[in-house]
Structure 1
């Protein structure tokens, strides 16, 4: 890739670093929106870390400050990030890497809500790293394809909850990373769209399988 990345898991952190800064689109807890960054972080949390009276944003800022990571785009999850999965795809001249952690303990069906206030917050946290320079609007289109692929993987896993087949969780996050450039398209008819879809679907499907092995006979709220 034009900007190779390294992946390091040091509990409770998962760190993805790039050789030079890139554009990142996300709704992550730390540095959401369209930003330039050189590092993506996952922070695994437990109930004791974030009791109900603690502001998660302020808490995370302190955690990041302690590791000199305030510039990193950072996501939070209660799932075991040691079970992260990676999938690569190459279509024509485009290469994409998807990195994901999956927890579905607060699964939801689109358009409906369940009361998960007394349960854990698993979250699907997904990073999609693209080797092709993109305009900002293409980065947003790439995010839509990544989100579609993530949802397809969840739907195909056929996780039944009280409101129907789950389509995601209430706290999912997607971060799409690419160098700044002139690429203008990332739809399903493009090589980039195909590569995004393939890598995301494969990584999310694998991670759902890992999560299921840790939750035999899980009962969802009805």
Structure 2
């Protein structure tokens, strides 16, 4: 469902065919059709206040021949990606994830912003279901819930409470357009999306925690 290509500084999720993708990514947000979802690895120093990151990203994508992709940015090493594929009742879902928690937050209470801390959780999710736009929104909410559950399971404690994600997380969810009206937790699509995301985020988060503890 997702073929992974690592071409530093890019991480590319190749979809099996053009699909309808829904995201709040900095490049091609909303509902768009594409066959690629990509990450651009950046340095924390590249993202200073006032820097037009979206214009810079669009220019870099164009130069790389990736202008039609949905694109996200991360300061996490893109080589740390994790992929999880789950099948439920013959329906597959896949999640490609990178995770960094250096700017983790506990939802509802912000910590002071720190320019040197730009970790993030970026996810590309694909599901074989043919869904209406409303059902795709529901599937995206399942992906976000699964991400949060995986992060909370680590017990990463902040001054404001248990980490639930970061301040710059991004999720892009791909499906084929169709008549499927529901994709919640009672459906095969919802179960598959939830399991794929939870598994990929749990594995990538464990990797980050090991790396963080090794840094002292």
| TM-score scaled by length of structure 1 | 0.93
Bigger drift between 201-210 and 11-20 goes to 11-20
**Residue 14 of structure 2 aligns with which residue?**
17
Are 1:106 and 1:119, in contact at CA under 8 Å, matched by a contact in 2? no
Aligned residue for 2:15, secondary structure, equals strand
Mark the CA change 1:218 to 1:109 in structure 2 (over 3 Å): closer, same or farther: farther
The total of aligned residue pairs comes to: 216
Note if contact 1:85-1:100 (Cα within 8 Å) is conserved in structure 2: yes
Could you say what the CA RMSD is over the residues aligned between the two structures, in angstroms?
Answer: 1.5
Q: Give the secondary structure class of the aligned counterpart of 1:68.
A: coil
Please tell me whether residue 75 in structure 1 is matched to residue 75 in structure 2: no
Aligned to 1:89: 86
Match of 1:101 in 2: 98
10-19 or 198-207: which moved more? 10-19
Quote the Cα distance in structure 1 between the aligned partners of 2:121 and 2:45.
21
Whole-angstrom distance in 2 between the partners of 1:66 and 1:14:
15
- Give the conservation status (yes or no) of the 8 Å contact 1:105–1:119: no
**Structure 2 vs 1, CA of residues 114 and 34 (structure 1 numbering), >3 Å: closer, same or farther?**
same
Sort the Cα spacing of 1:165 and 1:217 in 2 relative to 1 into closer, same or farther, 3 A.
Answer: farther
Pair 1:40-2:34 in alignment: no
Distance apart, 1:97 and its partner CA: 0.4
Residues 217 and 111 (structure 1 numbering): CA distance in 2 closer, same or farther, change over 3 Å?
farther
Give the structure 2 partner of residue 130 of structure 1: 127
- Between stretches 120-129 and 22-31, larger displacement belongs to 120-129
The CA distance in 2 between the partners of 1:20 and 1:102, in whole Å, is 26
Note the alpha carbon deviations across 1:103-143, whole angstroms, 9 max, x for none.
Answer: 00000001000113233211100111011211111110000
Pick closer, same or farther for the CA change 1:40–1:92 going to 2, 3 Å: same
Once the two structures are TM-superposed, the CA of residue 217 in structure 1 deviates from its matched residue by 7.0
Instruction: Say whether residues 1:119 and 2:105 are aligned partners.
Output: no
Corresponding residue for 2:57? 60
TM-score (structure 2 length as normaliser): 0.95
**1: CA distance, partners of 2:204 / 2:21:** 23
Counterpart among 182, 191, 202 of residue 188 in structure 2: 191
Distance 2:49 2:74 in 1: 15
Report the alpha carbon displacement of residue 218 of structure 1 after superposing the two structures with TM.
7.1
SS in 2 for 1:121: coil
Structure 2: unaligned runs, 5 residues or longer: none
SS of the aligned residue for 2:129 comes to coil
Matched residue, 2:210:
213
